Amino acid sequence: MIPLHLFSYKSLERCFLLLLSLTSPLGFVPAQEQPVTYKLCINQGGYPVAELPLPSSGEFILTYVHSIHKRPVYEYFRADQGLLVLYELRYDTTSTGMPFDAEGGFRMENGLFIVTMNRHFQTLPLFVSPVPGHGVIIDRHLYLFTEWVTEDTALELSVKGP
């Protein structure tokens, strides 16, 4: 018998998970080891800048600060069959350039204006805003485009997956 103090906590955890997966009739896959279905691809001029794993739901948020009324805007996307699907837009102030009608409707919820839609994109071209705060939120983590490129750079978003 090998004394337990020779094992690290991490190795004991792996042994426990292996034992659990072998003895469970359904198997066991810890949440952190589930396969990623899609990746968000951020390209500049046809070259990859970043590939970010998306959660199993395929959802992420494109966020920016509106250039006129200087308030945050959140565009909700999900990956579906290799496409980017814009399904919701949220903002807290109406102003010039902000939509208020869409195929899915317009409502107020918890102080936010919410526009529901169903728009599909193979790719999403954009310019990195000179107003700070332009990026994507994935699993509550904000990735600013300026981590990879400078303001006013043309980027293209797409998804890669099954």
State pLDDT tens for residues 76-135. Answer: 999 999 999 999 999 987 766 666 666 777 788 898 989 999 999 999 999 999 999 999
Structural domain total, the chain: 2
* Same domain, yes or no: 41 and 116: yes
* Same domain, yes or no: 85 and 113: yes
* Same domain, yes or no: 21 and 43: no
**pLDDT computed for residue 24 by the predictor:** 33
Provide the sign of the torsion angle of the four alpha carbons 16, 13, 52, 87, taken in this order. Answer: positive
- Is a pLDDT exceeding 80 seen at residue 38? yes
* Same domain, yes or no: 20 and 41: no
Owning domain of residue 155 = 36-160
- Is-contact 79 58, C-beta < 8 A? yes
User: Which of 17-26, 49-58, 90-99 is predicted most confidently?
Assistant: 49-58
- For the chain, the straight-line distance linking the first and the last C-alpha, in angstroms and rounded, comes to 45
Average pLDDT over residues 10-27: 35
Closest CA to 85 of 132, 54, 118, 62: 118
* Same domain, yes or no: 88 and 142: yes
* Same domain, yes or no: 60 and 30: no
- Burial class of residue 87, CB neighbours in 10 A (0-12, 13-18, 19+): middle
